[in-house]
Structure 1
Amino acid sequence: MSDVMMPSQVTKKPSVFDRFATHANEFVSRAWFFAMCVVLVVVWAPSYFLFDTADTWQLVINTVTTIVTFLLVALLQNTQTRSDEAVQHKLNALAEGLSELMRRLGEDHGELRQAEKELRDAVGLERRESS
C-alpha cells in the first residue's frame, strides 16, 4: 500500500490569495459580521433625508452591496473549491485504502475480488503498475 497517497501527504502550500480568502471566509462567517450588515442597512435607511433624490439614496446602497457581494463571491468560491479538493483527496485515499485491503483479503476470500473491481469502477480508481 506504499503507492497510496494519504491525505496527510498532500502538502500543497496555499498561496497568498488562498490564505487571504481563508481569512476573509472566517471573517464574514461570524454572527457579528451579519449584525454589522444589519446595522449598515439600519443606518442607511434614515439617510434618505441627506440625499437630493430617492434615486441617489438607492444607488448608494445598491452600489455598496453589489461591490461587496461581487468580491465576497470570488473569495468564498476560492475557499469552497479548496475545501472540495481536500475532501476529494481524503475520499480518494479512503477508496484506495479500502481497495487495497479488499485486494489483500481477496487472496483468501475470492468473493472480495469482484467487490474490489466494482469499487474501483465506481470511484474511478485506476490500476497502478507495480514497479
Structure 2
Amino acid sequence: MDTRDAADDRKKSDGRGPFEKFVEAVNQQVSRAPFFVVCLGIVVAWLASYPLFSSGKNWQYVIHTVSSVISLLLLVLLENAGRRSQESVHEKLNVLAEGMAALMKSEGRDDPALREAEQKLNEAIGLEERH
C-alpha cells in the first residue's frame, strides 16, 4: 500500500511549465485585497494627474488604455487558470465515478438495479470528452 502524503506529492514537480506557474501566481494574487488596493491606487493616481494633461480627452484616454490593457491580460490569464481548474475537477470526478462503478460492479452481482446504475455510471464517465 502506498503511504505517501498528499502534501508531499504537491511539493514535487508537477510538470507545469513557467507559464502555468505564472498563471497560478497571478490567479492567487488578483483575488486578494492588495491587488484591489493597487487598482485603487492606479485610479487615484489617474485622478491626481488631471492637471498634467492639456485636455480632458487625453486624460480620459490614459485610464481607458491602461484599464483595457490590464483587463485583457487578466482575462486571458484568469480564463486559463479557470480552464485548468475545471479540467482538474473533471478528472477527479471521473476517478471517483470509476471507483464507484467498480464498487457497484463488485457488489451488484445479484442486484439488477445496481447493475443498471453501474452501466449508466460507466456511460457517463468521460461524457464531457464526447461533447
Call closer, same or farther: CA 1:114–1:20 in 2, change over 3 Å. Answer: same
Q: CA RMSD in A?
A: 1.8
Superposition misfits of 4+ residues, deviation over 4 angstroms? none
Q: Which residue of 2 aligns with 1:129?
A: none
Q: Distance in 2 between matches of 1:77 and 1:124?
A: 22
What is the match of residue 18 of structure 1?
20
SS in 1 for 2:49: helix
- The correspondence for 1:96, drawn from 93, 98, 109, is 98
CA distance in 1, matches of 2:14, 2:122: 26
Q: Which structure 1 residue ranges, 5 or more long, are not aligned?
A: 1-7, 126-131
Counterpart of 1:111? 113
Identity across aligned pairs (percent)?
44
Report deviation, 1:12. Answer: 5.6
Counterpart in the other structure of 1:128: none
The TM-score normalised by the length of structure 1 is: 0.80
Q: C-alpha separation between the residues in 1 aligned to 2:91 and 2:126?
A: 13
Paired position in structure 1 for 2:4: none
Q: Which runs of 5+ in 2 are unaligned?
A: 1-8
Residue pairs, 1:12-51, within 5 angstroms: 13-51=15-53
- CA offsets 1:38-83 (integer angstroms, 9 cap, x no match): 1211221132111000111001111111111111111111111110
- 1:83 matched to 2:85? The reply is yes
Give the aligned partner of residue 67 of structure 2.
65
Contact kept? 2:98, 2:125, Cα under 8 Å: no
| Cα distance, 1:124 vs structure 2 | 4.5
Structure with higher RCO (Cα < 8 A, 6+ apart): 1
